[in-house]
Structure 1
């Protein structure tokens, strides 16, 4: 994997998680991430041994044994890129974009949607978009991770391959870019991906398209051309509006 992912560990016992965290703390703050959490929740930055132990001791040992917990180096001033590919009904597209944060009903910073630029073909086609250096590096990291995953699981059929790639400053103040995780299922950016697929399917001459998904914690007005995926009261998080739209 090389430098395509952040330095970190996955542990399945409290003892191993604490040891992993201590190794990372030698270089600076570490981020503890609950594997089953979503929407940017379930994450805690620890700066010393006492904080690390306190967070790990709060974890359910059975959940740790079944799913594990991630401890990785922490980056500040982060920006998260979405990089991925889809292959549906003979049409292959790839995309790069960024994610936005919003505030949920408990005033927590959570995932608020993705803005994507999509092209026909594989990840290598994204380099023709004239992107800035950091976005190009995010694509490179995703491609390295994607290649490693496909070599590790050669028989797996993946119609959606999505990677969250973070860029930020490490404890030494250096800018770092690395893959956070893969998503091979329906995810937050799926609405924008479908909008891109539909645009390419309708217009054979189209070479690139920009689309977006938006998640609002509340009942919000939507653009006239938006495809609304949900607008109502979720029994867990409360009132929400989720939609996708083509932006260019």
Structure 2
């Protein structure tokens, strides 16, 4: 493994690929600025988390096999998503029988996989970014990133180095927004009540920009903010750290 210029495979994620490619481009910029050689394997597909969360172990396992094969040979695998990162790191090894080659390969991939901001701070030791982004912002801690991967201080540390960003902490920043992958589809009434409370906490900060590290959460909150006519703009943390304010905010870009 080359620590001076590690070879990184970017796990783009389905939502970024289909709805917000700017997050992927921002991730590439941040990784290259941190001295990494970045590649995006064309063979990558969904990580299998929706199937896994719905109890469809067979399809989750098939998708995991494809991802494992697509990311062989990279020093690191990085995802701009705590939920996809958590799926690979925490759940892939459990999909395969211990003692098998597949289980060993899943464990190997898990040890090489990181969420984007945690990789920048923990592995590449990035302490600040050279970016400007005018915003009175508040940060939402997505469930998987916080609870599965322990990511909390890392994004706040890097956001503090972005020129123009003033961070205002919301009440219950760590509480679920109601998205929960397929939870919002299975239990829309409960999900919406959770989302309403989250929006009240966001607006109480007086922030004009909402930031988080998972696109699913961001799209969920952006959609509700748009429906109620809120002026709060929604951004992925990678876009802010890369200084990308040319791309329209989430929901406005739809």
TM over 0.5: no
Q: TM-score range by the shorter chain?
A: under 0.3
Q: Which has the higher helix share?
A: 2
Normalised to the residue count of structure 2, the TM-score between the two structures is 0.24
Normalised to the residue count of structure 1, the TM-score between the two structures is 0.25
Query: Which is higher, the Rg of structure 1 or of structure 2?
Result: 1
Q: Which has the higher strand share?
A: 1
